[in-house]
Protein backbone atom coordinates (compact mmCIF):
# COMPACT_ATOMS: atom_id res chain seq x y z
CA UNK A 1 0.00 0.00 0.00
CA UNK A 2 2.72 2.45 1.10
CA UNK A 3 4.84 1.31 -1.84
CA UNK A 4 1.96 1.84 -4.23
CA UNK A 5 1.14 5.35 -3.07
CA UNK A 6 4.85 6.15 -3.18
CA UNK A 7 4.85 5.06 -6.80
CA UNK A 8 1.84 7.21 -7.55
CA UNK A 9 3.51 10.27 -6.04
CA UNK A 10 6.72 9.51 -7.92
CA UNK A 11 4.91 9.28 -11.24
CA UNK A 12 2.90 12.42 -10.49
CA UNK A 13 6.18 14.29 -9.80
CA UNK A 14 7.72 12.88 -12.94
CA UNK A 15 4.75 14.00 -15.01
CA UNK A 16 4.99 17.45 -13.44
CA UNK A 17 8.71 17.68 -14.16
CA UNK A 18 8.45 16.82 -17.84
CA UNK A 19 5.18 17.83 -19.55
CA UNK A 20 5.92 15.66 -22.58
CA UNK A 21 5.13 12.62 -20.44
CA UNK A 22 1.58 13.86 -19.88
CA UNK A 23 -1.20 12.03 -21.64
CA UNK A 24 -3.03 13.99 -24.35
CA UNK A 25 -2.60 17.54 -25.59
CA UNK A 26 -2.86 20.61 -23.36
CA UNK A 27 -5.71 23.12 -23.67
CA UNK A 28 -4.70 25.86 -26.13
CA UNK A 29 -1.80 23.85 -27.54
CA UNK A 30 -3.29 22.83 -30.89
CA UNK A 31 -3.57 25.59 -33.52
CA UNK A 32 -3.63 23.51 -36.71
CA UNK A 33 -4.90 20.18 -37.92
CA UNK A 34 -3.92 18.18 -40.97
CA UNK A 35 -6.32 15.56 -42.32
CA UNK A 36 -5.79 12.28 -44.15
CA UNK A 37 -8.70 10.12 -45.23
CA UNK A 38 -11.59 9.71 -47.64
CA UNK A 39 -14.80 11.50 -48.63
CA UNK A 40 -15.94 11.73 -45.01
CA UNK A 41 -13.11 14.22 -44.51
CA UNK A 42 -12.52 15.69 -47.99
CA UNK A 43 -12.98 19.50 -47.98
CA UNK A 44 -11.41 20.13 -51.39
CA UNK A 45 -14.79 20.73 -53.08
CA UNK A 46 -18.28 21.98 -52.17
CA UNK A 47 -20.84 20.69 -51.54
CA UNK A 48 -18.84 17.79 -50.13
CA UNK A 49 -19.85 14.14 -50.46
CA UNK A 50 -21.81 14.68 -47.22
CA UNK A 51 -24.05 17.20 -48.96
CA UNK A 52 -22.79 20.39 -47.31
CA UNK A 53 -19.71 21.29 -45.31
CA UNK A 54 -18.05 18.29 -43.71
CA UNK A 55 -16.58 17.94 -40.24
CA UNK A 56 -13.11 19.52 -40.77
CA UNK A 57 -14.69 22.80 -41.94
CA UNK A 58 -16.89 22.91 -38.84
CA UNK A 59 -14.05 21.87 -36.52
CA UNK A 60 -11.85 24.63 -37.97
CA UNK A 61 -14.64 27.10 -37.15
CA UNK A 62 -15.45 25.69 -33.71
CA UNK A 63 -11.80 25.55 -32.57
CA UNK A 64 -10.85 27.82 -34.17
CA UNK A 65 -8.02 25.95 -35.91
CA UNK A 66 -6.27 26.24 -39.26
CA UNK A 67 -7.15 23.17 -41.32
CA UNK A 68 -4.96 21.57 -43.99
CA UNK A 69 -7.04 18.98 -45.79
CA UNK A 70 -5.26 16.18 -47.63
CA UNK A 71 -8.13 13.67 -47.39
CA UNK A 72 -9.67 12.81 -50.78
CA UNK A 73 -12.95 11.21 -51.81
CA UNK A 74 -12.89 7.58 -52.81
CA UNK A 75 -9.55 7.02 -51.10
CA UNK A 76 -8.32 3.81 -49.61
CA UNK A 77 -5.21 3.64 -47.44
CA UNK A 78 -3.11 2.23 -50.29
CA UNK A 79 -4.04 1.28 -53.83
CA UNK A 80 -1.42 -1.46 -53.58
CA UNK A 81 -3.76 -3.22 -51.16
CA UNK A 82 -7.26 -2.26 -52.23
CA UNK A 83 -7.16 -0.67 -55.65
CA UNK A 84 -9.62 2.07 -56.46
CA UNK A 85 -9.05 4.82 -59.02
CA UNK A 86 -9.00 7.57 -56.39
CA UNK A 87 -6.16 9.36 -54.52
CA UNK A 88 -5.11 7.05 -51.63
CA UNK A 89 -3.26 8.15 -48.47
CA UNK A 90 -0.09 6.31 -49.54
CA UNK A 91 0.66 7.20 -53.13
CA UNK A 92 -1.13 10.56 -53.17
CA UNK A 93 -2.10 12.27 -49.89
CA UNK A 94 1.19 11.75 -48.03
CA UNK A 95 3.30 12.69 -51.08
CA UNK A 96 1.22 15.89 -51.49
CA UNK A 97 1.75 16.75 -47.82
CA UNK A 98 5.50 16.05 -47.92
CA UNK A 99 5.76 17.97 -51.19
CA UNK A 100 4.28 21.04 -49.55
CA UNK A 101 6.48 20.64 -46.48
CA UNK A 102 9.64 20.32 -48.52
CA UNK A 103 9.02 23.34 -50.74
CA UNK A 104 7.99 25.48 -47.77
CA UNK A 105 4.29 25.83 -48.65
CA UNK A 106 3.55 24.21 -45.29
CA UNK A 107 5.58 25.05 -42.19
CA UNK A 108 3.76 23.73 -39.12
CA UNK A 109 5.08 23.55 -35.56
CA UNK A 110 4.69 19.85 -34.61
CA UNK A 111 3.75 20.83 -31.06
CA UNK A 112 0.83 22.93 -32.28
CA UNK A 113 -0.40 20.57 -34.97
CA UNK A 114 -2.80 17.62 -34.82
CA UNK A 115 -2.78 14.93 -37.50
CA UNK A 116 -6.09 13.13 -38.07
CA UNK A 117 -6.42 9.82 -39.87
CA UNK A 118 -9.85 8.46 -40.81
CA UNK A 119 -9.71 5.69 -43.36
CA UNK A 120 -11.40 2.34 -43.94
CA UNK A 121 -14.83 2.90 -45.48
CA UNK A 122 -13.60 2.30 -49.02
CA UNK A 123 -11.03 -0.35 -48.05
CA UNK A 124 -13.70 -2.50 -46.44
CA UNK A 125 -16.43 -1.77 -48.94
CA UNK A 126 -17.73 -2.52 -52.41
CA UNK A 127 -14.98 -2.94 -55.03
CA UNK A 128 -12.59 -3.79 -52.18
CA UNK A 129 -12.71 -6.26 -49.27
CA UNK A 130 -16.44 -7.05 -49.16
CA UNK A 131 -16.49 -7.97 -52.85
CA UNK A 132 -13.10 -9.72 -52.78
CA UNK A 133 -11.72 -7.14 -55.20
CA UNK A 134 -8.48 -6.56 -53.29
CA UNK A 135 -5.03 -7.77 -54.27
CA UNK A 136 -4.75 -11.59 -53.94
CA UNK A 137 -2.87 -11.68 -50.65
CA UNK A 138 -4.72 -8.83 -48.96
CA UNK A 139 -7.08 -9.00 -46.01
CA UNK A 140 -8.40 -6.74 -43.29
CA UNK A 141 -5.09 -7.23 -41.46
CA UNK A 142 -2.89 -5.44 -44.01
CA UNK A 143 -5.51 -2.77 -44.58
CA UNK A 144 -5.45 -1.82 -40.90
CA UNK A 145 -1.65 -2.15 -40.65
CA UNK A 146 -1.59 0.43 -43.42
CA UNK A 147 -3.56 2.92 -41.28
CA UNK A 148 -0.99 2.43 -38.50
CA UNK A 149 1.80 2.96 -41.05
CA UNK A 150 0.37 6.44 -41.74
CA UNK A 151 1.06 7.35 -38.10
CA UNK A 152 4.56 5.82 -38.31
CA UNK A 153 5.51 7.76 -41.43
CA UNK A 154 4.22 11.06 -40.04
CA UNK A 155 5.95 10.48 -36.69
CA UNK A 156 9.25 9.77 -38.47
CA UNK A 157 8.90 13.14 -40.20
CA UNK A 158 8.45 14.97 -36.88
CA UNK A 159 4.67 14.93 -36.29
CA UNK A 160 3.76 14.37 -32.64
CA UNK A 161 0.00 14.66 -32.14
CA UNK A 162 -2.41 12.18 -33.69
CA UNK A 163 -6.06 11.21 -33.64
CA UNK A 164 -6.92 7.87 -35.20
CA UNK A 165 -10.64 7.93 -36.00
CA UNK A 166 -11.90 4.38 -36.15
CA UNK A 167 -14.28 2.87 -38.71
CA UNK A 168 -17.96 3.75 -38.44
CA UNK A 169 -20.59 0.99 -38.07
CA UNK A 170 -20.75 0.55 -41.85
CA UNK A 171 -23.42 -2.11 -41.30
CA UNK A 172 -25.75 0.76 -40.29
CA UNK A 173 -25.32 2.62 -43.58
CA UNK A 174 -28.07 2.05 -46.14
CA UNK A 175 -25.60 0.60 -48.64
CA UNK A 176 -24.63 -2.23 -46.29
CA UNK A 177 -27.98 -2.63 -44.51
CA UNK A 178 -30.06 -5.75 -44.92
CA UNK A 179 -32.79 -3.60 -46.53
CA UNK A 180 -30.45 -2.22 -49.20
CA UNK A 181 -31.49 -1.74 -52.84
CA UNK A 182 -29.63 -1.21 -56.13
CA UNK A 183 -28.11 2.26 -55.82
CA UNK A 184 -25.32 4.40 -57.26
CA UNK A 185 -22.72 2.72 -55.01
CA UNK A 186 -23.63 -0.87 -55.92
CA UNK A 187 -26.22 -1.97 -58.43
CA UNK A 188 -25.27 -5.62 -58.80
CA UNK A 189 -27.13 -8.44 -57.17
CA UNK A 190 -26.03 -9.48 -53.71
CA UNK A 191 -27.48 -11.06 -50.61
CA UNK A 192 -28.12 -8.03 -48.42
CA UNK A 193 -28.38 -10.12 -45.25
CA UNK A 194 -24.94 -11.60 -45.87
CA UNK A 195 -23.41 -8.22 -46.75
CA UNK A 196 -24.85 -6.75 -43.58
CA UNK A 197 -23.46 -9.53 -41.39
CA UNK A 198 -20.06 -9.54 -43.15
CA UNK A 199 -19.74 -5.75 -42.89
CA UNK A 200 -20.43 -5.83 -39.17
CA UNK A 201 -17.64 -8.39 -38.78
CA UNK A 202 -15.24 -6.31 -40.90
CA UNK A 203 -15.85 -3.01 -39.15
CA UNK A 204 -15.77 -4.44 -35.62
CA UNK A 205 -12.72 -6.63 -36.17
CA UNK A 206 -10.98 -3.86 -38.08
CA UNK A 207 -11.44 -1.53 -35.13
CA UNK A 208 -10.30 -4.09 -32.58
CA UNK A 209 -7.16 -4.79 -34.64
CA UNK A 210 -6.43 -1.09 -34.99
CA UNK A 211 -6.79 -0.51 -31.26
CA UNK A 212 -4.37 -3.34 -30.42
CA UNK A 213 -1.90 -2.17 -33.07
CA UNK A 214 -2.05 1.39 -31.73
CA UNK A 215 -1.42 0.20 -28.18
CA UNK A 216 1.64 -1.71 -29.42
CA UNK A 217 2.83 1.37 -31.30
CA UNK A 218 2.73 3.79 -28.37
CA UNK A 219 5.94 2.62 -26.61
CA UNK A 220 7.88 3.10 -29.87
CA UNK A 221 6.90 6.78 -30.13
CA UNK A 222 8.40 8.88 -27.36
CA UNK A 223 6.86 12.35 -26.93
CA UNK A 224 3.89 11.48 -29.12
CA UNK A 225 0.28 12.03 -28.10
CA UNK A 226 -2.03 9.54 -29.75
CA UNK A 227 -5.79 9.46 -29.30
CA UNK A 228 -8.12 6.76 -30.47
CA UNK A 229 -11.47 8.29 -31.51
CA UNK A 230 -14.43 5.91 -31.39
CA UNK A 231 -16.42 6.84 -34.50
CA UNK A 232 -18.05 3.42 -34.24
CA UNK A 233 -19.41 4.27 -30.81
CA UNK A 234 -20.47 7.81 -31.71
CA UNK A 235 -22.35 6.72 -34.87
CA UNK A 236 -24.01 3.85 -33.00
CA UNK A 237 -25.19 6.32 -30.38
CA UNK A 238 -26.58 8.68 -33.04
CA UNK A 239 -28.40 5.70 -34.59
CA UNK A 240 -29.87 4.56 -31.25
CA UNK A 241 -30.51 8.00 -29.71
CA UNK A 242 -31.07 10.38 -32.62
CA UNK A 243 -32.98 12.83 -30.40
CA UNK A 244 -29.68 13.71 -28.72
CA UNK A 245 -28.05 14.73 -32.00
CA UNK A 246 -30.49 15.46 -34.83
CA UNK A 247 -32.53 18.66 -34.84
CA UNK A 248 -34.31 19.12 -38.18
CA UNK A 249 -37.98 19.82 -38.84
CA UNK A 250 -38.93 16.36 -40.21
CA UNK A 251 -39.41 13.20 -38.09
CA UNK A 252 -35.95 11.98 -37.02
CA UNK A 253 -34.64 9.42 -39.51
CA UNK A 254 -31.63 7.07 -39.25
CA UNK A 255 -32.64 4.48 -41.84
CA UNK A 256 -33.33 6.69 -44.86
CA UNK A 257 -31.24 9.47 -46.36
CA UNK A 258 -31.38 13.03 -47.67
CA UNK A 259 -30.37 12.15 -51.21
CA UNK A 260 -31.41 8.64 -52.14
CA UNK A 261 -30.70 7.43 -55.68
CA UNK A 262 -32.05 4.01 -56.56
CA UNK A 263 -32.38 1.77 -59.57
CA UNK A 264 -35.47 -0.26 -60.35
CA UNK A 265 -33.51 -3.44 -61.05
CA UNK A 266 -29.96 -4.79 -60.75
CA UNK A 267 -27.62 -3.54 -63.52
CA UNK A 268 -30.39 -1.18 -64.65
CA UNK A 269 -29.36 0.52 -67.92
CA UNK A 270 -31.61 3.50 -67.07
CA UNK A 271 -30.46 6.38 -64.87
CA UNK A 272 -31.07 6.17 -61.13
CA UNK A 273 -34.10 7.93 -59.69
CA UNK A 274 -33.22 10.36 -56.91
CA UNK A 275 -35.40 11.57 -54.05
CA UNK A 276 -34.11 14.55 -52.12
CA UNK A 277 -34.98 16.12 -48.78
CA UNK A 278 -34.71 19.92 -48.66
CA UNK A 279 -34.19 22.76 -46.20
CA UNK A 280 -34.39 22.41 -42.44
CA UNK A 281 -35.80 18.85 -42.79
CA UNK A 282 -32.27 17.73 -43.69
CA UNK A 283 -31.01 18.10 -40.15
CA UNK A 284 -33.43 15.34 -39.08
CA UNK A 285 -31.36 12.79 -41.05
CA UNK A 286 -28.33 10.83 -39.89
CA UNK A 287 -27.31 9.96 -43.47
CA UNK A 288 -26.85 12.15 -46.52
CA UNK A 289 -26.93 9.26 -48.97
CA UNK A 290 -26.55 5.46 -48.95
CA UNK A 291 -22.95 5.76 -47.69
CA UNK A 292 -22.32 9.23 -46.26
CA UNK A 293 -23.26 10.96 -43.03
CA UNK A 294 -25.41 14.09 -43.17
CA UNK A 295 -24.18 17.62 -42.53
CA UNK A 296 -25.78 17.53 -39.05
CA UNK A 297 -23.90 14.30 -38.28
CA UNK A 298 -20.76 16.11 -39.48
CA UNK A 299 -21.43 18.98 -37.06
CA UNK A 300 -21.62 16.41 -34.27
CA UNK A 301 -18.33 14.80 -35.32
CA UNK A 302 -16.78 18.27 -35.52
CA UNK A 303 -17.99 19.19 -32.03
CA UNK A 304 -16.49 16.04 -30.54
CA UNK A 305 -13.22 16.22 -32.50
CA UNK A 306 -12.85 19.88 -31.54
CA UNK A 307 -13.16 18.99 -27.86
CA UNK A 308 -10.43 16.36 -28.24
CA UNK A 309 -8.11 18.77 -30.07
CA UNK A 310 -8.71 21.37 -27.36
CA UNK A 311 -7.51 18.89 -24.75
CA UNK A 312 -10.94 18.50 -23.14
CA UNK A 313 -12.13 15.18 -21.75
CA UNK A 314 -14.37 13.47 -24.31
CA UNK A 315 -16.37 10.29 -24.02
CA UNK A 316 -15.47 9.13 -27.55
CA UNK A 317 -11.72 9.63 -27.28
CA UNK A 318 -9.07 7.71 -25.40
CA UNK A 319 -5.58 9.14 -25.15
CA UNK A 320 -3.09 6.28 -25.38
CA UNK A 321 -0.14 8.59 -24.78
C1 LIG B 1 3.97 22.88 -26.62
O2 LIG B 1 2.90 23.78 -26.39
C3 LIG B 1 2.48 23.82 -25.02
C4 LIG B 1 1.24 24.70 -24.93
O5 LIG B 1 1.38 25.88 -25.68
C6 LIG B 1 3.64 24.33 -24.17
O7 LIG B 1 3.23 24.30 -22.81
C8 LIG B 1 4.83 23.39 -24.35
O9 LIG B 1 5.95 23.90 -23.64
C10 LIG B 1 5.19 23.27 -25.81
N11 LIG B 1 6.21 22.24 -25.96
C12 LIG B 1 7.24 22.39 -26.77
C13 LIG B 1 8.17 21.22 -26.83
O14 LIG B 1 7.42 23.40 -27.44
C1 LIG C 1 3.07 0.51 -54.06
O2 LIG C 1 3.61 -0.11 -55.20
C3 LIG C 1 4.53 0.70 -55.90
C4 LIG C 1 4.88 0.00 -57.19
O5 LIG C 1 5.27 -1.33 -56.93
C6 LIG C 1 5.75 0.96 -54.99
O7 LIG C 1 6.66 1.79 -55.66
C8 LIG C 1 5.26 1.65 -53.72
O9 LIG C 1 6.34 1.81 -52.82
C10 LIG C 1 4.18 0.84 -53.06
N11 LIG C 1 3.63 1.63 -51.97
C12 LIG C 1 3.39 1.12 -50.77
C13 LIG C 1 2.82 2.07 -49.75
O14 LIG C 1 3.61 -0.04 -50.48
C1 LIG D 1 4.84 22.84 -53.46
O2 LIG D 1 4.52 21.45 -53.61
C3 LIG D 1 3.14 21.20 -53.81
C4 LIG D 1 2.96 19.68 -53.77
O5 LIG D 1 3.85 19.03 -54.62
C6 LIG D 1 2.72 21.83 -55.13
O7 LIG D 1 1.35 21.58 -55.34
C8 LIG D 1 2.96 23.32 -55.04
O9 LIG D 1 2.64 23.92 -56.29
C10 LIG D 1 4.41 23.60 -54.69
N11 LIG D 1 4.56 25.02 -54.45
C12 LIG D 1 5.63 25.70 -54.83
C13 LIG D 1 5.65 27.13 -54.44
O14 LIG D 1 6.55 25.17 -55.41
C1 LIG E 1 -32.03 -6.78 -40.55
O2 LIG E 1 -31.10 -6.35 -39.56
C3 LIG E 1 -31.74 -5.90 -38.39
C4 LIG E 1 -30.66 -5.29 -37.52
O5 LIG E 1 -29.63 -6.22 -37.30
C6 LIG E 1 -32.50 -7.06 -37.75
O7 LIG E 1 -33.16 -6.60 -36.60
C8 LIG E 1 -33.51 -7.59 -38.75
O9 LIG E 1 -34.12 -8.74 -38.20
C10 LIG E 1 -32.85 -7.95 -40.04
N11 LIG E 1 -33.86 -8.30 -41.04
C12 LIG E 1 -33.73 -9.31 -41.86
C13 LIG E 1 -34.84 -9.49 -42.85
O14 LIG E 1 -32.75 -10.05 -41.85
C1 LIG F 1 -29.19 -14.68 -47.97
O2 LIG F 1 -28.32 -15.17 -47.01
C3 LIG F 1 -28.97 -15.62 -45.83
C4 LIG F 1 -27.90 -15.98 -44.81
O5 LIG F 1 -26.93 -16.81 -45.38
C6 LIG F 1 -29.86 -16.80 -46.19
O7 LIG F 1 -30.55 -17.23 -45.04
C8 LIG F 1 -30.86 -16.34 -47.25
O9 LIG F 1 -31.65 -17.44 -47.67
C10 LIG F 1 -30.17 -15.74 -48.44
N11 LIG F 1 -31.15 -15.13 -49.29
C12 LIG F 1 -31.23 -15.40 -50.59
C13 LIG F 1 -32.30 -14.66 -51.34
O14 LIG F 1 -30.46 -16.16 -51.14
C1 LIG G 1 -29.06 21.98 -35.76
O2 LIG G 1 -27.97 22.26 -34.91
C3 LIG G 1 -26.84 22.84 -35.57
C4 LIG G 1 -25.74 22.97 -34.54
O5 LIG G 1 -25.30 21.68 -34.21
C6 LIG G 1 -27.22 24.15 -36.21
O7 LIG G 1 -26.10 24.68 -36.90
C8 LIG G 1 -28.35 23.90 -37.18
O9 LIG G 1 -28.77 25.13 -37.76
C10 LIG G 1 -29.53 23.23 -36.48
N11 LIG G 1 -30.54 22.88 -37.48
C12 LIG G 1 -31.76 23.34 -37.44
C13 LIG G 1 -32.68 22.92 -38.53
O14 LIG G 1 -32.17 24.07 -36.53
C1 LIG H 1 -36.81 8.05 -43.67
O2 LIG H 1 -36.58 8.84 -44.78
C3 LIG H 1 -36.88 8.23 -46.04
C4 LIG H 1 -36.45 9.20 -47.12
O5 LIG H 1 -37.06 10.46 -46.93
C6 LIG H 1 -38.37 7.86 -46.08
O7 LIG H 1 -38.64 7.20 -47.30
C8 LIG H 1 -38.67 6.95 -44.92
O9 LIG H 1 -40.06 6.67 -44.89
C10 LIG H 1 -38.26 7.59 -43.60
N11 LIG H 1 -38.38 6.62 -42.53
C12 LIG H 1 -39.00 6.90 -41.40
C13 LIG H 1 -39.01 5.82 -40.38
O14 LIG H 1 -39.51 8.01 -41.19
For the chain (321 residues), the mean pLDDT of every run of 10, in chain order, is: 41 43 90 98 97 98 98 97 96 98 98 98 97 89 98 98 98 98 95 98 98 98 98 98 98 98 94 97 98 98 98 97 97
Range 262-265, long-range pairs (CB < 8 A, 24+ positions): 262/181, 262/182, 262/183, 263/181, 263/182, 263/183, 263/187, 264/182, 265/182
pLDDT of residue 12: 43
User: Is the CB of residue 191 below 6 angstroms from any atom belonging to ligand 5?
Assistant: yes
Q: How far apart are CA 112 and CA 4, in angstroms?
A: 35
| Ligand 4 atom having least distance to the Cα of 193 | 14
Q: What is the CA radius of gyration of the chain?
A: 20
Q: How far apart are CA 35 and CA 247, in angstroms?
A: 27
Q: Count CB neighbours of 284 within 10 A.
A: 21
User: Is the CB of residue 96 below 6 angstroms from any atom belonging to ligand 3?
Assistant: yes
92 Cα: distance to centroid of ligand 2 (angstroms):
11
From the CA of 95, the nearest ligand is 3
| Ligand 4 atom having least distance to the Cα of 179 | 1
Nearest CA to ligand 3 atom 4: 99
pLDDT of residue 135: 79
- Mutation to probe ligand 5, out of 193, 197, 199, 266 (largest number of atoms < 8 A from CB): 193
80 Cα: distance to centroid of ligand 2 (angstroms):
6
* Sign of the C-alpha dihedral computed for residues 56, 47, 98 and 92 taken in this order: positive
The number of C-alpha atoms within 13 Å of 264 and in the hemisphere containing its C-beta is: 4
- Mutation to probe ligand 3, out of 100, 101, 102, 106 (largest number of atoms < 8 A from CB): 100
Q: How far apart are CA 4 and CA 123, in angstroms?
A: 46
Q: Are strands 225-229 and 317-319 parallel, antiparallel or unpaired?
A: antiparallel
Q: Please, are residues 128 and 122 in contact by the beta-carbon 8 Å criterion?
A: yes
Nearest CA to ligand 4 atom 4: 178
Q: What is the pTM of this model?
A: 0.92
Q: Please, are residues 251 and 138 in contact by the beta-carbon 8 Å criterion?
A: no
Q: Count CB neighbours of 221 within 10 A.
A: 18
pLDDT digits (tens, 9 = 90+) for 80-103: 999 999 999 999 999 999 999 999
pLDDT of residue 21: 55
User: CA 80 → CA 76, 135, 151, distances in Å?
Assistant: 10, 7, 18
pLDDT of residue 18: 42
30 Cα: distance to centroid of ligand 1 (angstroms):
10
Q: How far apart are CA 215 and CA 30, in angstroms?
A: 23
Burial classification of residue 220, based on how many CB atoms lie within 10 Å of its CB (0-12 exposed, 13-18 middle, 19 or more buried): exposed
Amino acid sequence: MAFLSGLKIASALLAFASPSLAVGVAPGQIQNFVTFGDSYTDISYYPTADGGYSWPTYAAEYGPFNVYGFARSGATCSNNLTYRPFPPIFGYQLPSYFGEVSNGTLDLDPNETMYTIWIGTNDLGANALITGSDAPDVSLVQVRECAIDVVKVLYASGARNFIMQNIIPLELTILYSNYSFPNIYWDEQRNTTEWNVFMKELSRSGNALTELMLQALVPTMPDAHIASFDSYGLFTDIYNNPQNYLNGTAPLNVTGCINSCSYTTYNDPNPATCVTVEGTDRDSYMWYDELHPSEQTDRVIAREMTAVMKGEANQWATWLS
